[in-house]
Amino acid sequence: MKSIFKSSIYQGGIVQKSYEQDFKQKDFFCEKKLSSPYNIAEGFTRVIQMDGIEIEHRDLNLKEAHQVKVAHDFPFLKMHFEMKGMSSFVRNNKGSMDALIPAGTHQLMYFPEVKGTLSYPSGHRYTLEVKLAVCYLKKIFGEDLSLIEKFGVKVEQDQPVKLGECSRPISPAMMQNIMDIIHCPLVGVSKKVFIEAKLMELLILQIEQSKVPEAEKKIWKGEDIDKLHFVKDYLNQHLDQHLSMDDLVRESGLNSYKLKKGFKEHFGNTVFGYWSDIKLHKAKQMIVDENISITEASFMIGFKNPQHFTAAFKKHFGYLPSALKRG
């Protein structure tokens, strides 16, 4: 199996990547961190490989927008979560479909043939992208992909399909699983089993969310949806502060009923449930990636008492934050 990427950002204009059939691995688990070799990007891509799966976590700052022509000579099955940034694909064959994945959304797609153009804007890209072998998906569902309804039937028929016409919002439950995968403190067999379990849970969350009719959200005016996204971004930018519902109503221009109902409907969590989740995941990221102390991290997300932070962390993740330091 081979992928070919063509772009002016590559030395020589082309990069080729080869895989074993169905992403088979000689080692039961392989993990590596790759720095960006390109002048237009700063950051890294972490790659995790195991039988039937390749995971790529990207944390990149793109200095300029760019395009990449891509071709895969194998059936392409992918779970894609674009936390920050944007990814778009425009096909130039019949074996795939156009796909737009804006910031904060996800998609599950299967393309028997891939040939087209990927486009990325400048700015921060923070993603989790998971390629699966079709045989791995069949193993999960006992060889009966009809359990995934239309998506599974199309895969069985070897026809291009996306889980939904449009990408859907990454729910808090999905985000928790994504962060658990990215910041998993385990090693060896334990890490492999943990990550596979989290990937299966992510896949089920994608499938279950797709069963909720998108039409239910079309009653919202575009300006109200923009205000809901403003609140979500506002919460993300003020993790160290103490905000009330009155504060958010005043900042957004939505009344409290619309704000509570709309936020839960569009983002799958209450306003302050979402904010609490994001605070704890941010603290976990700082402790693991930036080597910040537990006490300092607790203050940076608005906790006045580190013991209260430790209790909230334990309730949310199921283990103490001190385990991150031991890992």
- Give per-residue pLDDT as tens, 133-144: 999 999 988 888
**Site of tokens 């005016």:** 221
23: pLDDT strictly greater than 70: yes
SS3 state at 224: helix
Token couple for 275:
């904010």
d(CA 115, CA 278): 37
Confidence of residue 74 (pLDDT cuts 50, 70, 90): very high
Total count of residues recorded for the chain = 327
Token couple for 30:
């392989």
Homologous superfamily, domain 215-326 = Homeodomain-like (1.10.10.60)
d(CA 273, CA 291): 26
94: pLDDT strictly greater than 60: yes
Please state the domain extents for the chain: 2-212, 215-326
Q: Phi-psi category of 12—alpha, beta or left, where left has phi over 0 and alpha has psi -120 to 50? A: left
Highest average pLDDT, of 58-72, 204-218, 309-323, comes from 58-72
Strands 99-101 and 105-111: unpaired
Rounded to an integer, the average pLDDT of 247-273 is: 88
Residue 274: what pLDDT?
Answer: 85
Does the fold of domain 215-326 match that of domain 2-212? no
Rounded to an integer, the average pLDDT of 301-314 is: 92
Strands 87-91 and 114-120: antiparallel
Q: What is the biggest distance separating any 2 CA atoms in the chain, rounded to whole angstroms?
A: 58
Confidence of residue 28 (pLDDT cuts 50, 70, 90): confident
Of 3.30.1300.10, 3.40.5.90, 2.60.120.10, 3.50.50.60, which CATH number belongs to 2-212? 2.60.120.10
The answer to whether the Cα torsion of 212, 215, 219, 220 is positive or negative is positive
Residue 214: what pLDDT?
Answer: 61
327: pLDDT strictly greater than 60: no
